[in-house]
Structure 1
Amino acid sequence: MAPPQAALDFVDFVNASPTPYHACAVAAARLEKAGFSKIKERDSWTSTLRPGGKYYLTRNGSSIIAFAIGKKWRPGNPVAMIGAHTDSPCLRVKPVSKKGNAGFLQIGVETYGGGIWHSWFDRDLSIAGRVLVRDGRGNFVQKLIKVDKPLLRIPTLAIHLDRKSNFDPNKETELFPIAGLAAAELNKTGQAVKSEEEKGQEKEEGQGEEGTQDDFEPLKAMTERHHPQILDVIASHAEVGVSDVVDFELVLYDTQAACVGGVNDEFIFSARLDNLNMTYCSVEGLIASLRDAGALDNDSTIRLVASFDHEEVGSTSAQGAGSNFLPAILRRLSVLPAGRYDTASDASYDAVTDAGSPSQGEESTAFEQTLSRSFLVSADMAHSVHPNYAGKYEASHQPAMNGGVVIKINANQRYATNSPGIVLLQECARHADVPLQLFVVRNDSPCGSTIGPMMSAKLGVRTLDLGSPQLSMHSIRETGGSRDVELAVRLFESFYQTYGELEPKFFVD
C-alpha cells in the first residue's frame, strides 16, 4: 500500500525547511501558487485588500500570516484563525564561532530552545539560515542558504573512556562540532582577505569614502570571527564573494532527510515535526478550504493562518506570538469595508464601498467586535503514548499515533482549551469525518505550553489547543504518524469552511 500523499508532501515541505526562514519561504511559495498575493505591513492596504481576495505577509522572514476574505465580510465580523510556529530546538552558530582544540577545527554553537541535546551527537550535520550580503548598490539584502553536504559532527566519547550509564553532556564545553583539521586551515591561502589591489579598486569606485567598509569597522572582521573555510562555503551558497558577507544567522541541521517508514508506512521519521507539521497542515488546510472557485462567495468571515517564530524560547520577540504581529493585522482587517468584489473592475468595488464602509462609531468598536466573535486554534504537536514508558501518561489519556488530532486540556491553563471550544471542534470534526482524541498530563508530571494561553489572554479570543501526536518531541529525529497529516489538514479545512455557520451556535457570554 502506497504511503498517504499528504505525508509525502509534508516530507517534501520539511526537507526544504531547515530553518524558520526557509519554512516561511516554502509556505509563501505554496500560497502564491494557490493565488495568494504578497502584501507588506509598511504599505497602506486601503486600495489593496478586497472582499474575496487572498493575501499573505511575513515579518522578519521567519513569521508568516495569510488570510482570505469572504465576499460577504463586514466590519466587526469574525476571523477563523489557526496559529502555529516555525521554529524548533536547534544549535545556532555563535557570532564568534572560530574555535579549535587538539588539532581540530571546531564551531562555537549556542543552544536554542529545550532540545534533547544528546540526540545531536554522531549525526551528519550541516548549516542553513540567512546571510546578509552587500548587493553592489549599497544595499544589504537577505539570502537563504542550505548546505546539503555534511560539514559538521559532534562525536561521542568512546565507551572505553567513559563508563557512565547516563549521558548528559555539558552544553558549553562538550557540544562543539568538529568541522575539519587545523592543518588544512593553515594551508588556507587567505581567500577571504581582500588584496591591496581590490581595496584600491574599491576606493576608485567610491566605496572607500567616509562611512564605508574601508573606514573604521566597529566589529572584528568576519574572517577573524569565523573559520575562513566555513566563510567560503557560506559565501559560495549565497552566490557572493566572501568580502560581501556582512553577517548571518545560521543553525545546524541534520542532513538525513525526513522519510516515511514503518512496516506499513505508518510513520514519519523527521526533524522539526514540532512544529513544522502543524505549520504545514494549517497552511494546506487554508488552501484546501479555498479550492472551489466559489468558496468565498457566501462567506462572511476571514480565514487566517499565522505561524510565528520563537515559540520555543517564549515568543517574546517582534516576530513571536507575544508580539503585536497578529493583533496589528486583526485591527487593520476588522475595519475593512464590505463590498462586492469584481476581479474585472476595481471601479465596481469602489462604487459600493461607501455603502459598506463603517461609520466612525462602528469603526471605533469593530476591532473589539471582531475579537469577541473570532476563534483561534492553537496548533502545536501533541504527545503520543510511548510503548516503553506508558506509565508516564495518565491512564485514561494516552493518544494513539494515527488516531486523529489530539485536543490538549490543562486545568492550570497551560493549554487554553475549554468546553465551548471542544464543542466547536467536534462539529468541525464531524463535518470532516475526522476522529479526535483527548490529552491531559498526569498530576505528578510537568506540562508544556503553547502560544494558545498567551494569545487568548492578549486578544480575549476564544481559543483551543490541539496537535497531532508524536514521539521523541524535541529530539533531532522525531516520529509522527503518516495518516495524521491528512486528518489534520481535513480538520483545518473543515474549520475554515464551517466556522461562519457554527460561530453563532456556541456563544457563551
Structure 2
Amino acid sequence: MPHYAESFLSYIDRSPSPYHAIAEAVSLLTAAGFVSLEESERWALKPGGAYFVVRGGKSIVAWRQGSAPAAEAGFRFVAAHSDSPVLKLRPRPDLDAKGLRLLTAEVYGGPLLSPWFDRELKLAGAVWCGGGTVKRHLVDLPKLPVRLVSLAIHLKSDKGSDSFTLDREKDLAVFVGQGAKPGFDLVREAIAEALGGDPGPILSIDLSLGDAAPAVRLGAEGELISAPRLDNLFSAFTALTALIESTPAEATLGAIVYDAEEIGSQTYTGARSNFVESVVDRIVGGGSEDVWRAKARSLIVSADMAHAEHPSFTSATDPVTVPALNGGLAVKTGVQGNYAIGPAAEAWFLKVCEEAKVPLQRFRYRCDHGRGSSIGPMATSGLGMAGIDVGAPMLAMHSVRELAGTADLEASIKAFAAMYASREPLPV
C-alpha cells in the first residue's frame, strides 16, 4: 500500500496538466520496457511486445500485444481520461485594474468554482514557441503563485448570506502581481526561467490553473488522499500500473487515457475521435473482417471516479447503491445511457473479480437527481466493443482538491489486474 500511495502522490504532483500526466505515463511505461511508436510511422508489432502511442500530447494508448492474433483473442482495455475541470487562461489574458496585474481565465468543464478562490494557485500546461521551428514546451510555474480573490462579505449587498454567485465573464480575474509590467509579461518571464532560457516568441498557449499545494495523505494511518485532479488521474494511474505489472496473455491487453472527457470528448484526442480505433486497426491488420472479429471478442472497462456518500448530505445519494471510501472499486450503472450498458460484460467482470477475491461495490444515481457520465458510452458505441463503467469512490468531485481512499488504489489495481490475467472467456 505505501508503495502505491507514495508513487501516486508523486504522479499527481508531477502531473499538473494533461500534458504532464501523459508525459509521466510515458516515463512509467518506458521504464517498464514499453516501446514508443509514432502514428506517422510504420509499425512492426510482435506477439508479446509492449508498446504505446501518444496523440496530441494529451492522450495515450499502451498495450501488451497478445500471443494470439487479435481477431481470435480480442482486446481487454481499461480506459480513463487525463483532463479535469479547471480554469484556463484566455489567449490574450492581460487585464489591468488600478495597478494590479491580472490575467483573465475561463471555465473548462464543470468545476465547483467557490473552492478555487482565496488559495495559492499555479499555472501549468504547454506553450508553443517560435524563433525557428515551432516547438512545444511543457511548463509548470510554482514560482509564480497566482490567486482568485473573493469580495469581502462586508461589501456584499446581502451581508448575511453565505451564497456564492459568480459572473464567469468578469469575476475570474487572476491576481498575478502589482506594478508596471503586464501580467502576461510576468508569465513569460516565469516560463523562460522554468525552461532555462528564452524559448522565443510564444505563439500559442494551453495553460491551466491548479492548486499549488502538493497532494497529501490524511488520517491517523494515512487512509485518505487529498489532492487535485483525482478525477481522473486516480484511474489513469491505476490502469497504467495494472498494465505495467501484467504479463503477456493470448488477448491484447491495453490501457487508454483519453483527453477532453470533461468537455464532451469531441476533439481529436478525445473518446469520440478515431484514435483508439486506428490503433486497433493497426494492431489487428488483415482487413476489416478481422477487425470486426477482434472487436466482437473485446471488452472496455471505462474507469472514472464514483461518488461516495457525503456524511452531511446523505440524501444526495441513493441509500442502497452508494459506495464507501476504501471499500473497493464501484461498478457504475444506469438505464439512461450515461454509463456503458453491458450486462454480459458486467457479469463477466463481477465473476472475474469474485474469483480473484477483489472487493467491488455499486453506484447508481438517485432517480430524481441529475447525473454525470463518462467516456464509457462513447468508447463502447464508437468502437463497437462491449464494456462497463467502474470508479473508485471519492468526495468533493470537481473541486480544486478532492478526497479519495488510499486502500482503493490497490483495490483498483487488483481489479484491473484480475481482468487482464483472467482466462475466463468473454461473453459474446
- TM-score w.r.t. structure 1 length? 0.81
Once residues 377 and 470 of structure 1 are traced to their aligned partners in structure 2, the CA distance between those partners, rounded to angstroms, is 19
Once residues 51 and 376 of structure 1 are traced to their aligned partners in structure 2, the CA distance between those partners, rounded to angstroms, is 21
Whether 2:20 is the aligned partner of 1:26: answer no
- Could you tell me which residue of structure 2 aligns to residue 334 of structure 1? 284
- Could you tell me which residue of structure 2 aligns to residue 94 of structure 1? 90
1:109 to 59, 82, 105: 105
Once residues 189 and 356 of structure 2 are traced to their aligned partners in structure 1, the CA distance between those partners, rounded to angstroms, is 51
Matches within 5 A, 1:104-503: 104-134=100-130, 138-162=132-156, 163=159, 164-181=161-178, 183-185=179-181, 227-241=184-198, 243-290=200-247, 296=248, 299-335=249-285, 363-498=287-422, 501-503=423-425
Contact kept in structure 1, 2:88 and 2:105, CA below 8 Å: yes
Task: Give the counterpart letter for 2:3 in structure 1.
Answer: Q
Task: Give the counterpart letter for 1:315 in structure 2.
Answer: S
Once residues 149 and 486 of structure 1 are traced to their aligned partners in structure 2, the CA distance between those partners, rounded to angstroms, is 34
Once residues 421 and 136 of structure 2 are traced to their aligned partners in structure 1, the CA distance between those partners, rounded to angstroms, is 37
> Structure 1 vs Structure 2: percent identity of aligned residues?
33
Once residues 42 and 244 of structure 1 are traced to their aligned partners in structure 2, the CA distance between those partners, rounded to angstroms, is 28
Once residues 355 and 26 of structure 2 are traced to their aligned partners in structure 1, the CA distance between those partners, rounded to angstroms, is 28
Residue 325 of structure 1 and its aligned partner are, at CA, apart by 0.2
Give CA-to-partner distance per residue, 1:121-154, whole Å, 9 cap, x none: 01101111112123x6x31111111112252111
Contact kept in structure 1, 2:59 and 2:258, CA below 8 Å: yes
Once residues 74 and 161 of structure 1 are traced to their aligned partners in structure 2, the CA distance between those partners, rounded to angstroms, is 65
Contact kept in structure 1, 2:340 and 2:388, CA below 8 Å: yes
Contact kept in structure 1, 2:111 and 2:399, CA below 8 Å: yes
Residue 490 of structure 1 and its aligned partner are, at CA, apart by 1.0
Classify 1:422/1:243 alpha carbon distance in 2 versus 1 (closer, same or farther; 3 Å): closer
Give CA-to-partner distance per residue, 1:323-365, whole Å, 9 cap, x none: 0001111111122xxxxxxxxxxxxxxxxxxxxxx5xxxx340
SS at match of 1:151: strand
- Could you tell me which residue of structure 2 aligns to residue 355 of structure 1? none
Once residues 430 and 11 of structure 1 are traced to their aligned partners in structure 2, the CA distance between those partners, rounded to angstroms, is 29
Residue 103 of structure 1 and its aligned partner are, at CA, apart by 2.1
Residue 229 of structure 1 and its aligned partner are, at CA, apart by 2.0
Once residues 474 and 442 of structure 1 are traced to their aligned partners in structure 2, the CA distance between those partners, rounded to angstroms, is 19
Residue 246 of structure 1 and its aligned partner are, at CA, apart by 2.8
Residue 454 of structure 1 and its aligned partner are, at CA, apart by 1.2
Contact kept in structure 1, 2:295 and 2:383, CA below 8 Å: yes
Once residues 431 and 281 of structure 1 are traced to their aligned partners in structure 2, the CA distance between those partners, rounded to angstroms, is 20
Residue 91 of structure 1 and its aligned partner are, at CA, apart by 0.8
Task: Give the counterpart letter for 1:502 in structure 2.
Answer: E
Residue 6 of structure 1 and its aligned partner are, at CA, apart by 1.2
SS at match of 1:227: helix
Residue 404 of structure 1 and its aligned partner are, at CA, apart by 0.5
Moved more, 410-419 or 461-470: 410-419
Once residues 243 and 258 of structure 2 are traced to their aligned partners in structure 1, the CA distance between those partners, rounded to angstroms, is 16
Residue 502 of structure 1 and its aligned partner are, at CA, apart by 1.5
Give CA-to-partner distance per residue, 1:410-467, whole Å, 9 cap, x none: 0111111432122211122124321111111111001111111112111221010000
- Could you tell me which residue of structure 2 aligns to residue 44 of structure 1? 42
Once residues 288 and 306 of structure 2 are traced to their aligned partners in structure 1, the CA distance between those partners, rounded to angstroms, is 39
Moved more, 148-157 or 373-382: 148-157
Give CA-to-partner distance per residue, 1:84-123, whole Å, 9 cap, x none: 0000011111110110113210001111000011110011
- Could you tell me which residue of structure 2 aligns to residue 341 of structure 1? none
- Could you tell me which residue of structure 2 aligns to residue 223 of structure 1? none
SS at match of 1:160: helix
Contact kept in structure 2, 1:77 and 1:334, CA below 8 Å: no
Task: Give the counterpart letter for 1:15 in structure 2.
Answer: D
Moved more, 381-390 or 123-132: 123-132
Structure having the higher Rg: 1
Once residues 364 and 248 of structure 1 are traced to their aligned partners in structure 2, the CA distance between those partners, rounded to angstroms, is 39
Classify 1:242/1:98 alpha carbon distance in 2 versus 1 (closer, same or farther; 3 Å): farther
Residue 74 of structure 1 and its aligned partner are, at CA, apart by 5.1
Q: Which runs of 5+ in 1 are unaligned?
A: 187-225, 291-295, 336-357
1:60 to 52, 56, 60: 56
Once residues 230 and 373 of structure 2 are traced to their aligned partners in structure 1, the CA distance between those partners, rounded to angstroms, is 16
Q: Which runs of 5+ in 2 are unaligned?
A: none
Give CA-to-partner distance per residue, 1:368-394, whole Å, 9 cap, x none: 001111000000000001100001111
Give CA-to-partner distance per residue, 1:157-176, whole Å, 9 cap, x none: 22222223201222111111
Task: Give the counterpart letter for 2:100 in structure 1.
Answer: F
Once residues 310 and 53 of structure 2 are traced to their aligned partners in structure 1, the CA distance between those partners, rounded to angstroms, is 39
- Could you tell me which residue of structure 1 aligns to residue 65 of structure 2? 69
Q: How many residues align?
A: 425
Once residues 256 and 342 of structure 2 are traced to their aligned partners in structure 1, the CA distance between those partners, rounded to angstroms, is 21
Once residues 227 and 487 of structure 1 are traced to their aligned partners in structure 2, the CA distance between those partners, rounded to angstroms, is 44
Once residues 17 and 381 of structure 1 are traced to their aligned partners in structure 2, the CA distance between those partners, rounded to angstroms, is 18
SS at match of 1:250: strand
SS at match of 1:177: strand
- TM-score w.r.t. structure 2 length? 0.96
Task: Give the counterpart letter for 1:371 in structure 2.
Answer: K
Task: Give the counterpart letter for 2:8 in structure 1.
Answer: F
Once residues 42 and 431 of structure 1 are traced to their aligned partners in structure 2, the CA distance between those partners, rounded to angstroms, is 42
Task: Give the counterpart letter for 1:36 in structure 2.
Answer: F
